[in-house]
Structure 1
Amino acid sequence: MVMSKRMRVAAIDTSTDMLAVCVAELDGAGAAAPAVRVLASGDHLCRRHANVELIGSLDAALAAAGLSLGDIDAVLVGRGPGSFTGVRIGISTAKGLARGAMVPLAGVSTLDATAWRAWCAGARGLVAVAADAMRGEVYPALYRIEDAGVTRLFEREQVVKAADAAAAWAARPDAEELQLTGDGLVRYGKLFHEAGLMEHALERDLWWPTGEGIVRAAAAAGGPAALGDGDPALVLPIYTRLSDAEENERKRLGLAESPSAQATGVADELAGRHLQYRPLGAADAEAAAALEAACFAGAAHTPWTAAQFLEELSPAAAVPRSWWVAHDDGDLIGIAGGMIVDCDVQILDVAVAPARRRAGIARRLLAHVSYDAQMLGCTTASLEVEAGNEPARRLYAALGFTEAGVRRNYYGPGADAVVMTAPLPLVLPVDAASPEPTAAVRRAWPQPAPARTPDEQAELARRRPVLAIESSCDETAVAIIDAEGRLLANKVSTQIDFHARFGGVVPEIASRKHVEVIVGVVDEALEEAATTLGLTGGALAPAELAAVGVTQGPGLVGALVVGVAFAKGLAYGAAKPLITVNHLEGHLFANLLAQPDLKPPFIFTLVSGGHTMLVHVRAWGDYEVLGETLDDAVGEAFDKVAKALGLGYPGGPVISRLAEEGDPQAIAFPRAMMHSHDYRFSLSGLKTAVVTYIEQETAAGRTIHLPDLAASFEAAVFDVQFKKAWDALKQTGAREYCLGGGVAANPHLRQMLVDKLGRRGVRVTLPPRDACTDNAAMIAEVARRKFAEGDFSDFSVDADPNMTL
């Protein structure tokens, strides 16, 4: 990060109920401890309204300082620990601000900021911060505060029970010197009072961090440059607790209890599970050994046997292991694994089928293994590789490994092993195929504004590109569209592989992943758009956009919050209008990507993982919802049936592939509400019928023919969809019909609707299959039209998880 001796910074923090905002000037920014001059503050208590008030509060502080964001040299943000949602709002907004204004971003601990507030108020001596972590817990931190500044007396942030923190502090020999502060005292003050610690507590209004505290914590570290290279992609929250799902994953890894080694191999009829990644199971041992033999035939490395792989899964293993496999079309095509020893994951084996190399499979396998290792507290990785295996050595070097030594004759006479080590996380690309934790490629920051020729500037003014962000569930997507509807970029970073290990989307994990990858996906879209436009001066700059669009809802609130907060920061930072989009309307507009002349009135069916809905589109923006599901959505039913069959997540593609070879009339599953004479749907009964059938057949010792079951299940779902759609077309008189949502990619549903409705004189429009699942292209199409109409949103807008058409 390049810094001048004097720099202006904007600092924000939303980790607690205090919305902290400060505009300040650092004098002597290159010094060990720059002098701080506060220009304006906007701190105020703001419980659960941070996303609504943050940009407005920053704007007011800048105005009070007589500045605009364009006058700011860097953005500072509190990284927590604190409220999970609050931390994400602050960091996501800060990432957007920095990326939009193209200035550096640095993060500091909110606990440090709280201690510096105490320093500003004149507190000196031993200060204990107890920040609220809810669940009966606090984030405890001890500091020595002197005239010269604040000194940490702990190594890293942690979370403990409030009662335990109170007991530990009360037992200290210097307990009488402790001065307590922190917002945890609001909720747990009684516990600390009973421990005899509240006598020297600081005044209540000092219990929260402030914007000035954020600035002074950064200045004490030597200014923003000392806190990182300024790249917004690299600033992440401070988490002290795993999600509940990841805690269960720790159990799978053997921390709390022995992992299960149940047979989870893939049968031939499960070929639809295209290139997925999952933990190694006992049933994979033979296939893994065969892959080893194929990969290392004639090599110095002795291939692993099936027995050795089984030993790795043994509950009696002395240290935790992590093993992952990649499979495609029923075949195991890749494997990687390691064991954890003293905070180091020792990579034991990496093998990819020769015909499938150079496709990033080894990288993604190692991403899963290294992530597991980090969850187990590892900070480094190590491995041995044959000295003569140049391709493997190049791969590992690209992942961040460096050569640490050589073991002579390790693989036999004349066959040396090169020892390589790397810090975690590994250097893994942030792209549509790699959603795992990454160490982003280092780059100079801030990035210079691109140089454009007059012709390029005129072309950008004519094309008026609009960037759109979609983060409603488990995919971080960014698209850029021009004024005429031409897609300039379309990027998606999916988390499906990660959630697959839990059998479905875990909201907390989805939100964390969005925070990790959103800057990288935006950067990729900006680069792709510049290439599409033929620009020669580098990636598209945020200031060259016409507007920023984002999904406001419906969806997972934690996921939506990240996208909305980032989009608001990006739009404000780039001085561009903000456009919010209804996700459901996005699925409707996806049809325009296939049929630009589609015009209302028409009937629209939305079939996705979270929604099943029949809509009469009377005009663009004028929607009458005729009926919705009473329980499970169609996509949800597919996932639950697939889970009952042990087919993994997501269930739709697997069942669709199986159904291709099945008889849709083989099993008489119920058609729920087929003749209800309304437009409501119900799928829970059908799901129960399928599960009951599986249990009965299994109990009777009969083999279930999966293709027949899948085809019969699909038929039961789709027959009802057709019947309701045809009834709605007849009632309204509409002669056009279209489809949307993830299940709209199902080839059998698409063909059935085209055939049956086409024979009845109805024109059927279907969105491109790659635009059926959550994507930003459909959000961009809505945002483009709203931009043309001047339909902009205020920066006080918030995510709306329950948004309807």
Structure 2
Amino acid sequence: MLVVALDTSTDMLACAVAAWTPGRDGARADVELLASRDHLCRRRANVELVGTVQTALEDAGKHVSDVDAFLVGRGPGSFTGVRIGISTAKGLARGANVALQGVSTLDACAWTAWRAGVRGLVGVAGDAMRGEVYPALYAVEDEGPRRLFERERVVKAAAAVEEWADRADRGELQLTGDGLVRYGRLFEEAGLMARALPRELWWPSGEGLLLAAADTGIGGGVEAGDPALVLPIYTRLSDAEENERKRLGLAQSATSEVTGVADELAGRHLQLRPMGSADVEAAAALDDACFADANHAPWSAQLFLSELSDDVAAPRSWWVAHDNGQIVGLAGGMVVDTDVQILDVAVAPERRREGIARKLLSHVSYDAQMLGCTSASLEVEAGNEGAIALYEALGFERCGLRRGYYGPGADACVMVAQLPLVLPVDAASPEPTAAAARTWPLSASARTPEERERIAARELVLAIESSCDETAVAVIDVDGALLANQVSTQIDFHARFGGVVPEIASRKHVEVMVGVVDAALEEAAASLGLADPIAPSELACVGVTQGPGLVGALVVGVAFAKGFAFAAQKPLVAVNHLEGHLFANKLTTPDLEPPFIFTLVSGGHTMLVHVRAWGDYEVLGETLDDAVGEAFDKVAKALGLGYPGGPIISRLAETGDPKAIDFPRALNSRGDYRFSLSGLKTAVTLYIENEAKAGRALHLPDLAASFEAAVFDVQYKKAKNALRETGAKEYCIGGGVAANPHLRRMMIEKLSRQGIRVTVPPTNACTDNAAMIAVVARERYLRGEFAELDIDADPNMTL
């Protein structure tokens, strides 16, 4: 076998090519090094990696088509470096349809030391930055290094120094690892640097990767070679998830070691947050629906509002659960001395048995503990066996009966529990699941000559989009027919935080990229009436979003696409994400031609553009602060409506009066094409606060409709003025907010009356998707505008 090893987890770009002979009966494989291109490469790994692989193969007298397997360092190491290496390796293996295996970068460091003749006790201190290291101890014997730890971990550098300095055999400890570059002084002060290995051995090598894999056995099983299953070695969750896990008092995530994210924190359909004044009407309606047949009166909106007042005598804790802005559950309690008295628990009948009540009560009890409570108490109707069973499962015990508490003949069962409450695992919570096993490499397609000719004639373009929180892949043919459009959304993972968490987004892209590509290749084949998926070698080119966007997210798509294109031996096309939103309009209006005016309204961008010709764009004005989509999300967050805010506010606005509240329209003078939404956002926030202080419940539909009107009036006026000034007779719109039905309807109706042809993209092509990227990639492919394999992600790319 010909194996290529690569790693970018550290500042060393490790790359080697070897002839690999599997060992027999469990013996270590034989590795014959054919070429090595290891070199220090700080912050240029994504620029140099594919080129380095190509050069190493040339040094070995080989071609990428000769490769039988790829091997990648999985870290731990630099977050960005690890995902560049793994994403590139996934692209290489998927594009070439060969096996991919991953090994620990720390193990590779130990094997690098072994190869240099080092024997004895060796400590590898990998640089984790932020004052931390990845410490790993090995007994390096003649047969090779042996781990003295169970799994990789991260600790403060000072803690690692103290741990190793306290060892009885510290005098025998030899140090290596790139953490010595940054934290060497700490190790020196503890007297540990005297036996540090030569500096050139502090980084992993390509040969070290190969030796580590030879010891564990590359290609040892069916699953071992599937690139979809190779993920970074994670030592912790993202900061956002880690803080949320601690706040909720949850145990360590069962999935974080594999995926790097806490699946149990996901759940768009069960967002929990403190109750706000905007919730009181919905809370009262829910309580009425839940207790209409009960012996006691449900809570009124005014009663809920009084509970949220700053004037209440005793501290309160009220929480709601909601699904896209609709209240589906609530719970609240009052602190009396060291006891929290549960005042109300209600869950929508259709949402029961999902663990909602348990999770709401866990939040209330957590707040109570923070206020010094040690117990919880409540009353429940004596005949409500379902509720009593729930409370007993949480640790409540029956301690008394209050006769006629809810009226004549309606007794109350008094229950008490010690805090913290017992929180059994929710049956509805996601369990960690492994990707489905499949035979890898995939079997070659049994194409007939006619099928091969038909595929070649279609000149298929595959496009990848990963600029934010959607992993998307599409396939389009040379005539513009969309054959596949796959999107893997991450909303569940970001909703809890009210917006996109960049680190979570990047980790999810790494996890799902291969699967989304596979799904797109299968869908494209089905569209063409083929039984077997499209093979990478059957594509005409590969397109990818280069920017703008979140750098960690973009890096994954760009690295994968470059590896995929190189291995499949297809040209690469780099696409501007903003131009993708513009070209999405050609999906509905193929004959759209400049000149025209284009409005981009998305979560990250708001701009008005004069499209003078394809590729010739004059940006007339941009936002000075918040983008339109960002403003929708922030207002929804202020109202406690959840994330993403656009669809929720749009739904509420359907029944609202857009003239009910006179919100400001900023920069609305003629000739000024700039946008500003921070003032509007502040005005909405102040309105909410003032209504709460006055003790008035918010009318959410009116507020939503008035907010939308303030945003869209400005969009319309600026578009109308730009059309008049430029003389353009066509107008189009793009971006996630372009899916808003009120904005689409207003622009079509008002501008059409002025003789302007208005084009809007399909609603499913407004939010981030790869179909729009494929349209741009196709245009560039036809013009022969190809990118080099040394391109990098450009998070600040402009139109």
- Asked if Structure 1 and Structure 2 have the same fold, meaning a TM-score greater than 0.5 normalized by the shorter chain, the answer is yes
The answer on 1:148 being equivalent to 2:143 is yes
SS across alignment from 1:573: helix
Compared with structure 1, are the counterparts of its residues 261 and 254 closer, same or farther at alpha carbon in structure 2 (3 Å cutoff)?
farther
In the TM superposition, residue 224 of structure 1 has moved relative to its aligned partner by 3.3
In the TM superposition, residue 267 of structure 1 has moved relative to its aligned partner by 6.8
- Cα deviations across residues 344-382 of structure 1 (Å, max 9, x unaligned)? x997554xxxxxxxxxxxxxx532xx3xxxxxxxxxxxx
In the TM superposition, residue 147 of structure 1 has moved relative to its aligned partner by 1.7
SS across alignment from 2:224: coil
1:10 to 4, 14, 25: 4
- Cα deviations across residues 443-467 of structure 1 (Å, max 9, x unaligned)? 0011122110111101101101111
1:577 aligned residue: 571
Contact 1:229/1:444 (<8 A) preserved:
no
Compared with structure 1, are the counterparts of its residues 468 and 291 closer, same or farther at alpha carbon in structure 2 (3 Å cutoff)?
closer
The answer on 1:209 being equivalent to 2:272 is no
Q: Distance in 2 between matches of 1:772 and 1:308?
A: 35
SS across alignment from 2:5: strand
2:38 aligned residue: 43
1:732 to 726, 733, 747: 726
Q: Distance in 2 between matches of 1:260 and 1:800?
A: 36
Q: Distance in 2 between matches of 1:594 and 1:242?
A: 42
2:18 aligned residue: 24
The answer on 1:97 being equivalent to 2:148 is no
1:744 to 707, 728, 738: 738
2:58 aligned residue: 63
1:539 to 533, 537, 540: 533
Contact 1:527/1:539 (<8 A) preserved:
yes
Moved more, 261-270 or 759-768: 261-270
Compared with structure 1, are the counterparts of its residues 266 and 550 closer, same or farther at alpha carbon in structure 2 (3 Å cutoff)?
farther
TM-score, scaled relative to structure 1: 0.81
The answer on 1:672 being equivalent to 2:723 is no
Q: Distance in 1 between matches of 2:581 and 2:214?
A: 47
Rg larger for:
2
SS across alignment from 1:16: coil
Compared with structure 1, are the counterparts of its residues 630 and 169 closer, same or farther at alpha carbon in structure 2 (3 Å cutoff)?
same
Instruction: Please tell me the residue identity of whatever aligns with 2:96.
Output: A
Moved more, 729-738 or 674-683: 674-683
Compared with structure 1, are the counterparts of its residues 520 and 620 closer, same or farther at alpha carbon in structure 2 (3 Å cutoff)?
same
Contact 1:261/1:313 (<8 A) preserved:
no
**Structure 2: gaps of 5 or more residues:** 253-270, 287-321, 333-343, 375-389, 396-421
In the TM superposition, residue 287 of structure 1 has moved relative to its aligned partner by 2.1
In the TM superposition, residue 211 of structure 1 has moved relative to its aligned partner by 0.7
Contact 2:133/2:156 (<8 A) preserved:
yes
Written as runs of structure 1 = structure 2, the 5 A alignment for 1:587-736 is 587-675=581-669, 677-736=671-730
Contact 2:87/2:560 (<8 A) preserved:
yes
In the TM superposition, residue 32 of structure 1 has moved relative to its aligned partner by 2.3
Contact 2:133/2:154 (<8 A) preserved:
yes
1:559 aligned residue: 553
The answer on 1:282 being equivalent to 2:277 is no
SS across alignment from 2:111: helix
Instruction: Please tell me the residue identity of whatever aligns with 2:608.
Output: L
Contact 2:222/2:440 (<8 A) preserved:
no
Identity %: 69
1:195 aligned residue: 190
Contact 2:469/2:490 (<8 A) preserved:
yes
Q: Distance in 2 between matches of 1:476 and 1:28?
A: 36
Written as runs of structure 1 = structure 2, the 5 A alignment for 1:400-411 is none
Written as runs of structure 1 = structure 2, the 5 A alignment for 1:321-400 is 350=427, 365-367=428-430, 370=431
Contact 1:465/1:547 (<8 A) preserved:
yes
Instruction: Please tell me the residue identity of whatever aligns with 2:692.
Output: T
SS across alignment from 1:218: helix
Q: Distance in 1 between matches of 2:566 and 2:280?
A: 49
Contact 2:280/2:697 (<8 A) preserved:
no
Instruction: Please tell me the residue identity of whatever aligns with 2:705.
Output: A
Compared with structure 1, are the counterparts of its residues 552 and 278 closer, same or farther at alpha carbon in structure 2 (3 Å cutoff)?
farther
Compared with structure 1, are the counterparts of its residues 285 and 70 closer, same or farther at alpha carbon in structure 2 (3 Å cutoff)?
farther
Contact 2:477/2:483 (<8 A) preserved:
yes
Q: Distance in 1 between matches of 2:157 and 2:425?
A: 41
1:314 aligned residue: 365
Q: Distance in 2 between matches of 1:686 and 1:747?
A: 21
In the TM superposition, residue 312 of structure 1 has moved relative to its aligned partner by 8.7
SS across alignment from 1:501: helix
SS across alignment from 1:794: coil
Q: Distance in 2 between matches of 1:637 and 1:201?
A: 54
- Cα deviations across residues 516-539 of structure 1 (Å, max 9, x unaligned)? 111111111111111111113x11
The answer on 1:442 being equivalent to 2:437 is yes
In the TM superposition, residue 282 of structure 1 has moved relative to its aligned partner by 2.6
In the TM superposition, residue 227 of structure 1 has moved relative to its aligned partner by 9.6
Runs of 4+ in 1 over 6 A off after TM superposition: 264-267, 273-280, 304-309, 316-319
Q: Distance in 1 between matches of 2:330 and 2:28?
A: 54
Q: Distance in 2 between matches of 1:277 and 1:107?
A: 44
Contact 2:222/2:437 (<8 A) preserved:
no
SS across alignment from 2:663: coil
Contact 1:252/1:260 (<8 A) preserved:
no
The answer on 1:122 being equivalent to 2:171 is no
In the TM superposition, residue 27 of structure 1 has moved relative to its aligned partner by 1.8
Contact 1:51/1:796 (<8 A) preserved:
yes
Q: Distance in 1 between matches of 2:345 and 2:126?
A: 48
Contact 2:7/2:14 (<8 A) preserved:
yes
Compared with structure 1, are the counterparts of its residues 685 and 791 closer, same or farther at alpha carbon in structure 2 (3 Å cutoff)?
same
Compared with structure 1, are the counterparts of its residues 526 and 499 closer, same or farther at alpha carbon in structure 2 (3 Å cutoff)?
same
Q: Distance in 2 between matches of 1:698 and 1:101?
A: 61
SS across alignment from 2:600: strand
2:761 aligned residue: 767
Compared with structure 1, are the counterparts of its residues 276 and 441 closer, same or farther at alpha carbon in structure 2 (3 Å cutoff)?
farther
In the TM superposition, residue 119 of structure 1 has moved relative to its aligned partner by 0.8
In the TM superposition, residue 252 of structure 1 has moved relative to its aligned partner by 3.4
Compared with structure 1, are the counterparts of its residues 614 and 667 closer, same or farther at alpha carbon in structure 2 (3 Å cutoff)?
same
Contact 1:107/1:227 (<8 A) preserved:
no
Q: Distance in 1 between matches of 2:272 and 2:359?
A: 17
**Structure 1: gaps of 5 or more residues:** 1-6, 296-303, 320-334, 351-364, 371-424, 427-438
Written as runs of structure 1 = structure 2, the 5 A alignment for 1:469-488 is 469-488=464-483
The answer on 1:500 being equivalent to 2:495 is yes
Compared with structure 1, are the counterparts of its residues 266 and 512 closer, same or farther at alpha carbon in structure 2 (3 Å cutoff)?
farther
The answer on 1:85 being equivalent to 2:136 is no
Contact 1:33/1:223 (<8 A) preserved:
no
SS across alignment from 1:11: strand
1:379 aligned residue: none
Q: Distance in 2 between matches of 1:532 and 1:308?
A: 44
Q: Distance in 2 between matches of 1:307 and 1:92?
A: 39
Contact 1:552/1:800 (<8 A) preserved:
yes
Written as runs of structure 1 = structure 2, the 5 A alignment for 1:225-264 is 225=220, 228-255=223-250, 262-263=274-275
Q: Distance in 1 between matches of 2:795 and 2:214?
A: 38
Contact 1:32/1:221 (<8 A) preserved:
no
